[in-house]
């Protein structure tokens, strides 16, 4: 196992690209003759790099650049080292400098594109990545990043539709360019799968089942080419003893995946009938990690896919659950293999995987629309109620922290809009000024994205939406920076109304609002991902907070702002009924029955 902390799985592919880039530049007559001391510093940096002394390697290259500021080899190597050190701003600077000197080095464009995205320049990143693909169609990593980084905060519906079309075209190009004829091509493709997942694809707001099926099938074909021994179905193991349940996740730590699903599985499944084996693909360790380790039958933590693969094979689970496929690349790669007789996913990432290796999608009957099956390539399993065993959220601090909302005026009623800004679709921007027209003291509070470019685009969209209604956005809109846990709790506590996002509903965020008994307004859509809050409100008998259309959504929100007595009544009913959400054993019993049946150990 390569335990160098900044060394990525794809470094071998990058090393080849780095060498190819330098050879290409040399062939074009770009590389100047290095002085002896510069050549020695470059050689020294290579030795330091090989010993994983990345800071020292970067220092040697900076010394070389001090002598020859326009040396392309030094610039290329330094940008690469800094990228692996996660010094993305400096890496981007040197990659751009390189491209001003030599504009035909594909790996230079890749470095610029990769780092531009990491520092929040998403639009600029795309132009660099497109150029990298144009210059080197065989660079699978650049192909994958170019394809998967199509997404952004769209300014209007036309842009969203255009991005969807672009993704479809680039996915086809990616698949056609990923040759699987030689061992080297197969290895490159496997590493390319690890570049990025299409996590943001459903944020565009459309039915992407067909595209996911195409992508998922490609991932499985790549993984099958690399590991043909794990590409065929595995028969049920009908030996005696407990049924082995494996859980593969990148989130055995304080994360929404743990809170929503994994903790309930580990704590509530009948350990007389089931043994639980956890495979943690992440690096974070906290008290949740240690707690999970203490209650699992076995617990393996490693970010090395091969080691996790070996651990799964050693345990030979009867059922393997991949929590949140599409959220990270190690679980994605593992999900592309056949490692257990029955393989499942759940709604940690509420979207079909499109992968023929995944048999079942474990979902919530309340969240799924009547025709929900058509949105999955997996067989849909509808567990009762919310499908999860969750417990009341405990406040992080006994004494709440103070939190001031910038721009808040006396008499303002605060509507908390706390979702990732990518969830707010441009087709629904008009609801905010329409609520403000009916309730003049409405103030909407949004949380800025970590990527400033995305916040700026969304802010401009809202300004235009308010302007179209003859209003000034800043009279009704406040943005607060990304918050830590206590500040987020404080914001929930001082808000008056929780305004759910339309198109992609709040799940964990809605559950986190319940301790504060705030009225919640939602409008469910056609996909399960747009029906989380709907299901929560149905479960606690708050149907009058569920809008049948956008117009009713606006009316409910406006009335809550204007009618304080009704607001208080709604809050009191939430306080009385929210216990129905918690400690739901019915869904656990149904999950146990499902495991028994699919493993061949049940009675029906």
| Residue percentage of the chain with pLDDT more than 70 | 93
| Residue percentage of the chain with pLDDT more than 90 | 83
In a domain, 385, yes or no: yes
569 and 594, same structural domain? no
Q: Say yes or no to pLDDT of 8 above 60.
A: no
Distance between CA 539 and CA 582 in Å, rounded? 10
In a domain, 41, yes or no: yes
Q: What tokens were used for 473?
A: 């956005």
85 and 33, same structural domain? yes
Q: How many domains does the chain have?
A: 3
Distance between CA 405 and CA 427 in Å, rounded? 27
Question: In this predicted structure, what is the pLDDT of residue 601?
Answer: 83
In a domain, 223, yes or no: no
**Least confidently predicted of 246-255, 319-328, 387-396:** 387-396
What are the pLDDT digits (tens) for 555-591?
999 999 999 999 999 999 999 999 999 999 999 999 9
516 and 438, same structural domain? yes
Question: In this predicted structure, what is the pLDDT of residue 175?
Answer: 94
351 and 450, same structural domain? no
Q: Say yes or no to pLDDT of 529 above 70.
A: yes
Distance between CA 206 and CA 204 in Å, rounded? 6
What are the pLDDT digits (tens) for 145-180?
999 888 889 999 999 999 999 999 999 999 998 999
The CATH number assigned to the domain holding 314 equals: 3.40.50.11380
| Residues 6+ away with beta carbon under 8 Å from 532 | 350, 367, 505, 506, 507, 510
241 and 163, same structural domain? no
Q: Which residue has the higher pLDDT, 396 or 520?
A: 520
What are the pLDDT digits (tens) for 288-318?
999 999 999 999 999 999 999 999 999 999 9
591 and 577, same structural domain? no
Q: What tokens were used for 110?
A: 């890749």
**Least confidently predicted of 15-24, 223-232, 494-503, 563-572:** 15-24
Q: Say yes or no to pLDDT of 405 above 60.
A: yes
Q: Are the C-beta atoms of 386 and 536 separated by less than 8 Å?
A: yes
Q: What is the residue range of 463's domain?
A: 413-581
What are the pLDDT digits (tens) for 329-382?
999 999 999 999 999 999 989 999 999 999 999 999 999 999 999 999 999 999
520 and 493, same structural domain? yes
| Residues 6+ away with beta carbon under 8 Å from 23 | none
The CATH number assigned to the domain holding 161 equals: 1.25.40.10
Q: Which residue has the higher pLDDT, 554 or 143?
A: 554
What are the pLDDT digits (tens) for 173-199?
999 989 999 999 999 999 899 888 999
331 and 193, same structural domain? no
Question: In this predicted structure, what is the pLDDT of residue 74?
Answer: 94
Question: In this predicted structure, what is the pLDDT of residue 35?
Answer: 57
What are the pLDDT digits (tens) for 450-463?
999 999 999 999 99
In a domain, 47, yes or no: yes
């Amino acid at each position: 196992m390569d335990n160098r902390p900044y060394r990525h799985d794809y470094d071998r592919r990058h090393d080849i690209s780095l060498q190819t880039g330098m050879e290409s530049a040399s062939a074009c007559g770009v590389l100047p003759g290095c002085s002896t001391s510069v050549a020695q510093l470059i050689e020294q940096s290579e030795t330091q790099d090989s010993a994983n002394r990345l800071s020292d390697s970067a220092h040697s290259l900076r010394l070389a650049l001090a002598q020859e500021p326009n040396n392309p080899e030094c610039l290329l190597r330094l940008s690469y080292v800094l990228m692996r050190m996660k010094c993305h701003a400096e890496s981007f600077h040197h990659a751009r400098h390189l491209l001003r000197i030599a504009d035909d080095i594909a790996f230079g464009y890749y470095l610029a594109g990769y780092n531009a995205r990491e520092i929040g320049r998403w639009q600029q990143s795309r132009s660099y990545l497109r150029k990298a693909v144009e210059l080197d169609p065989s660079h699978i990593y650049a192909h994958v990043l170019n394809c998967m980084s199509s997404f952004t905060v769209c300014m209007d519906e036309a842009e969203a539709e255009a991005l969807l079309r672009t993704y479809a075209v680039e996915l086809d190009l990616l698949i056609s360019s990923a040759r699987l004829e030689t061992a080297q091509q197969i290895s490159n493709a496997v590493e390319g799968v690890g570049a990025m997942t299409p996590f943001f694809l459903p944020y565009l707001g459309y039915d992407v089942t067909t595209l996911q099926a195409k992508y998922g099938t490609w991932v499985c074909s790549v993984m099958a080419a690399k590991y043909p021994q794990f590409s065929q179905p595995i028969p049920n193991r009908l030996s005696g003893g407990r049924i082995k349940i494996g859980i593969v996740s990148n989130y055995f730590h304080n994360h929404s995946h743990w809170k929503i699903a994994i903790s309930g599985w580990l704590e509530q499944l009948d350990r007389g009938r089931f043994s639980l084996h956890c495979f943690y693909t992440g690096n974070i360790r906290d008290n949740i990690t240690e707690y999970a380790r203490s209650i699992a039958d076995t617990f393996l933590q490693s970010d090395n896919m091969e080691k996790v693969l070996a651990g799964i094979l050693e345990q030979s689970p009867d059922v393997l659950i991949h929590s949140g496929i599409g959220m990270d690349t190690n679980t994605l790669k593992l999900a592309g293999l056949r490692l257990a007789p029955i393989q499942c996913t759940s709604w940690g990432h509420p979207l079909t995987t499109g992968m023929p290796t995944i048999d079942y999608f474990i979902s919530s009957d309340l969240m799924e629309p009547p025709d929900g099956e058509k949105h999955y390539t997996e067989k849909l399993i509808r567990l009762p109620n919310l499908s999860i065993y969750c417990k009341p959220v405990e406040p992080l601090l006994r004494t709440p922290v103070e939190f001031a909302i910038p721009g808040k005026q006396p008499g303002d009623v605060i509507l908390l809009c706390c979702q990732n800004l990518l969830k707010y679709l441009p087709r629904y921007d008009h609801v905010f000024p329409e609520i403000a027209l009916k309730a003049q003291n409405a103030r909407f509070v949004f949380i800025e994205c970590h990527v400033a470019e995305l916040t700026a685009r969304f802010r401009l969209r809202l300004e235009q939406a308010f302007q179209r209604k003859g209003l000034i956005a800043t009279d009704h809109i406040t943005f607060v920076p990304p918050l830590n846990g206590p500040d987020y709790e404080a914001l929930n506590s001082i808000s008056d109304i929780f305004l759910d996002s339309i198109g992609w509903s709040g799940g964990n965020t809605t559950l986190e609002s319940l301790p504060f008994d705030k009225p919640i307004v939602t409008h469910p859509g056609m996909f399960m991902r747009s029906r989380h809050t709907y299901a929560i409100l149905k479960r606690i008998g708050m149907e009058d907070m569920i809008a049948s259309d956008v117009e009713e959504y606006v009316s409910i929100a406006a009335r809550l702002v204007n009618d304080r007595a009704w607001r208080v009544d709604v809050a009191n009913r939430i306080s009385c009924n929210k216990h129905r959400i918690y400690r739901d054993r019915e869904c656990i019993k149904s999950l146990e029955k499902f495991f028994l049946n699919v493993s061949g150990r049940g009675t029906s």
